[in-house]
Amino acid sequence: MLKQIYHSIEAFYEEMVHIRRHLHQYPELSFQETKTAAYIANYYETLGIPYETNIGGNGVIATIKGGKPGKTIALRADFDALPIQDEKDVPYRSKVKGMMHACGHDGHTATLLTLAKALITYKQELPGTIVFLHQHAEEYAPGGAKPIIDSGAIDHVDAVFGTHLWATTPVGVLQTSKQAFMAGADCFTIEVQGKGGHGAYPHETKDAIVIGSQIVSQLQQIVSRRMNPLDTAVITVGIFEAGKAFNVIADKASLVGTVRYLNPDLQATIMKEMEAVIKGICMSQDATYRFDYIKGYPPLINHKEEAALLLQMDQHIKEITKTETIEPSMAGEDFAYYLQKKPGAFFFTGAQKDKQPFPHHHPKFDFNEQAMPIAAKTLITAYLAYQTR
C-alpha cells in the first residue's frame, strides 16, 4: 500500500505546486490568516474530508479515519507568512505589498493538503486516524500551537509529526535529532533613562548611549563568563535606538533583542543574570531602566524513538539519499509545544534550490518544490511506522 500511496503523491505533484504558488501569491501575516484558513477548509470540503475551523484561532483540523483500528496521529503544517517584501523575479511572486512566504509555510500547507487527497483512495486500508493539523501563527509569539493545544483539539492524539522544508539543505537529505533540535526563543526590551544635554558638556549629563553600550558589551559576558561552557545560549541585541542630533547627548536609549537556549533550565538563569547586569550598570551611572523579558517558544526537544523512525526513511523512500542527525538549530519553532504535550518528532526536509540559496526570512527566499512530495512521503511513512510500534 505504501508504494501505491507514493505513486498517488507523485501523480498530484503538479497540483501540489499549484497550491503552493497560489498561497505564495496571497500571503497573510500571523493571526490574520482568515483567507488562507478558508482556502484550506474549502479544499477539504471539496474532498469530502471532515474538518473543523477556528481551532485556537485560525487553525484548521481535518481528519481521515482509517478502515482499520490503530493510533491517532497528527501531521502538522503551518500557514502564516512574514512582513517582508518579496524581491524574487518569479511568476508566483507575492501580490501583497510588504508580505511574503519567506519560510516555506506555503509549501508545508500544499504538502499536507495534497497528502490528504492522495490518501482518500486508501482510506479503508489505513490503520488508525490521521489528523491533518493546519496551524496558524507560527512566526509570531505567542504563536498558534499553544492555543490549539489549550483548545483540547489534540487531547485524543497519540503522537505528532511535523517537518520544515529547509532551503539550505540539499534535496534528498533528511535531518533531525533524537534530543534538542531547535532553540527556545525569547525576546527582551531594555529602556535606559539617563539625562540629556549638550555634546560639549558631557559632565552635566548621564549619557544613555554610553550606558546602553556598556549594557550591550556586558550582556555578552553572561554567556562567556557566567554560564557553563557546555551549555549553548545566545544573547543578541538586534536594535539599539538613541539620539536625534550629532551634538546632543541622548537621555534615552532603547535596546531590543533575543535570547536563544537549548536547555530549558537556562531560561531563569539568563533572565536573572541580565537583570543583574542592567541594574548594576545603570546604578553605577545614576540612571534608571525598565527591563521587559518576554518568554517565547520553549526549546524543541524531539522524542528519541519517534526521531529514530525518521532516521530510517532512506530505507523506504528512494528520493531520500541521506538521513542524518545534526546539531540543533538556534532558530525557534512553536512545534515545541506539541512535543511537550505528546510524543513525536520534527525534521528538516532538504529543499535547496540553488547552489547559493537565500536563507529563510530573506526577501529572495525560495525553495525547491521537488522537496514537497518527499516531505509528504516521509510524513505518511512515519505515520504508518508509528502504528506498528
**CATH number of the domain encompassing residue 285:** 3.30.70.360
Give mean pLDDT, residues 244-260: 98
Domain count, the chain: 2
Last residue of a domain, one of 297, 329, 360: 297
190 and 64 in a common domain = no
- Tell me the sheet residues that pair with 249: 197
The question of whether 80 is a catalytic residue gets the answer yes
Tell me which residue range forms the domain holding 91.
2-181+299-387
The question of whether 366 is a catalytic residue gets the answer no
- pLDDT averaged over every residue in the chain: 97
137 and 222 in a common domain = no
The pLDDT of residue 374 is 98
90 and 31 in a common domain = yes
Contact 187, 283 (CB under 8 A): no
The pLDDT of residue 357 is 96
- Tell me the sheet residues that pair with 259: 186, 235
366 and 310 in a common domain = yes
Q: Give the list of residues 6+ apart from residue 14 with CB closer than 8 angstroms, or none.
A: none
Which residues define the annotated binding site? 103, 105, 139, 164, 361
33 and 155 in a common domain = yes
27 and 154 in a common domain = yes
Q: DSSP strand E in the chain: where?
A: 51-55, 59-65, 68-78, 127-135, 159-166, 173-176, 180-182, 184-193, 197-198, 233-242, 248-249, 252-261, 288-297, 300-301, 322-325, 344-350
Residue 170 has pLDDT above 90, yes or no: yes
Give mean pLDDT, residues 274-286: 98
83 and 32 in a common domain = yes
29 and 173 in a common domain = yes
The pLDDT of residue 313 is 98
339 and 377 in a common domain = yes
Residue 81 has pLDDT above 90, yes or no: yes
Last residue of a domain, one of 277, 297, 317: 297
Which residues define the annotated binding site for Mn(2+)? 103, 105, 139, 164, 361
Structure confidence by residue, pLDDT tens digits, 328-369: 999 999 999 999 999 999 999 999 999 999 999 999 999 999
316 and 267 in a common domain = no
pTM of this structure: 0.95
Residue 389 has pLDDT above 90, yes or no: no
Give mean pLDDT, residues 213-242: 96
Q: Active site residue: 33, 78, 80, 251, which one?
A: 80
116 and 259 in a common domain = no
The pLDDT of residue 30 is 98
Q: Active site residue: 33, 86, 106, 138, which one?
A: 138
Last residue of a domain, one of 279, 297, 315: 297
Angle at 270 between CA 291 and CA 146, to 5 degrees: 80
- Type and span of the H or E element at 223: helix 208-225
The pLDDT of residue 150 is 98
Instruction: Please report which confidence band the pLDDT of residue 252 belongs to, taking 50, 70 and 90 as the band edges.
Output: very high
327 and 236 in a common domain = no
- Percent of residues, the chain, with pLDDT higher than 90: 99
Structure confidence by residue, pLDDT tens digits, 27-78: 999 999 999 999 999 999 999 999 999 999 999 999 999 999 999 999 999 9
Instruction: Please report which confidence band the pLDDT of residue 327 belongs to, taking 50, 70 and 90 as the band edges.
Output: very high
Give me the DSSP letters along 344-375.
EEEEEEE---SSSPPPTT-TT----TTHHHHH
